[in-house]
Amino acid sequence: MRILVACEYSGRVRDAFRARGHDAISCDLEPSDAPGPHIQGDVLPLLQKPWDMLIAFPPCTYLSVSGIHWNTRRPARAAKTDEAAEFFLAFANSGIPKIAIENPVGVMSTRYRKPDQVIQPWHFGEDASKRTCLWLYNLPPLRPTRVIVKDRYANQTPTGQNNLGPSPHRAKVRSLTYQGIADAMASQWG
């Protein structure tokens, strides 16, 4: 299949599909962290090309429930939420035959529709907790591959919050797709 992995700089999902023989290309405003077919730039024009599958990871800064409360304190953020929602919907309305859009719990559940699935990295052999929504079109929900049940995961503080402190790289690190999820996508959807 020809697969566009949108808003991915890590190459993890792209490379998981390529390892299974697919023609997968990633696209992001950032350069790729891993060598491989990657387009650095705006992904929207690429949606017009012939793809068999789209897996999109639109930025969640203005969409996630963890940040949306700032919109009442900083009204200029509300316009950014509207822009982010439009960007998300460009993927949903792209017309590509198979689509998966990933984002944390947030406003798209009401602005678009409820997600088809909510997954956790620990469903796929990762010692981490990060509740993640998937909106699917012509793709089945992912089946867990190796469930790890713990009271607290390696990425959590004792109160259950993410243990990454503030830093210039925090958003980039938090946005990485866990390898277990990337592998499950490639093996189950590829």
- pLDDT > 90? residue 166: no
Amino acid 163: pLDDT: 64
- pLDDT > 70? residue 170: no
Q: What is the mean pLDDT of the chain?
A: 91
Tokens of 71: 């919109």
Q: What angle do CA 45, 3, 5 make, to 5 degrees?
A: 65
Instruction: Name the least confident of 15-19, 88-92, 130-134, 183-187.
Output: 130-134
| Domain count along the chain | 1
Structure confidence by residue, pLDDT tens digits, 80-103: 889 999 999 999 999 999 999 999
Query: Which CATH number does the domain housing residue 94 bear?
Result: 3.40.50.150
Give the confidence band of 24 by pLDDT, cuts at 50, 70, 90: very high
Give me the domain span that covers residue 140: 2-189
Structure confidence by residue, pLDDT tens digits, 27-40: 999 999 999 999 99
Task: Give the strand pairing for 38-40 and 23-28.
Answer: parallel
Amino acid 182: pLDDT: 98
Tell me 124's DSSP state: B
Give the confidence band of 18 by pLDDT, cuts at 50, 70, 90: very high
Cα–Cα distance for residue pair 126/153, rounded to 1 Å: 9
